[in-house]
Amino acid sequence: MKMKVVIDNQTYEVDVKNIHTRPVIAMVEDERYEVWPEMETPVGTGATAAPAVAVPEQVQSPTSSSASVQGAGGKDVAAPLPGVIVAVLVKPGDPVTKGQELCTLEAMKMKNGIRSNRDGIIASLEVAVGDQVGHGQVLMTFSD
């Protein structure tokens, strides 16, 4: 579906792919964006509110089923997508190697292994099993 969107008096042509899949794929000026609408349930009603659409973020095509994401400084390991932590495989003080699985995040009924993209020592864990995390949320930090 093609539509025109005006932001700060500038018009953009947006081509939105299937709105019933997650993530929703949107093309803006030949750049691909993934949008993760979130469903919210008002307290005490059991009814589902209209989805709130997240701000689009430019993404690169995934190259494998496991993900490795770190912040700009290289010390933080961040969630590559929203989901629930179902396993934490390391603890503070543990040495890890590049490619080692650090934790498992379940998103849309799929388990995603979050792997280290460097050697180092885990300084702190910011999540525990059962925690719901958002895209880009820090999961753990390296000490060096």
User: Of residues 35 and 10, which shows the higher confidence score?
Assistant: 10
Q: Does any domain span residue 85?
A: yes
pTM tops 0.85: no
Split into its structural domains, the chain has a count of 2
Read off the pLDDT of residues 38-77 as tens digits, 9 standing for 90 and up: 554 445 545 444 444 444 444 443 433 444 444 434 789 9
* Residue 46 CB coordination number (10 Å): 7
Alpha carbons 97 and 102: distance in angstroms, whole number: 10
Q: What is the CATH number of the domain that holds 85?
A: 2.40.50.100
Domain residues for 37? 2-58
Q: Does any domain span residue 123?
A: yes
For residues 98 and 127, membership in a common domain is answered with yes
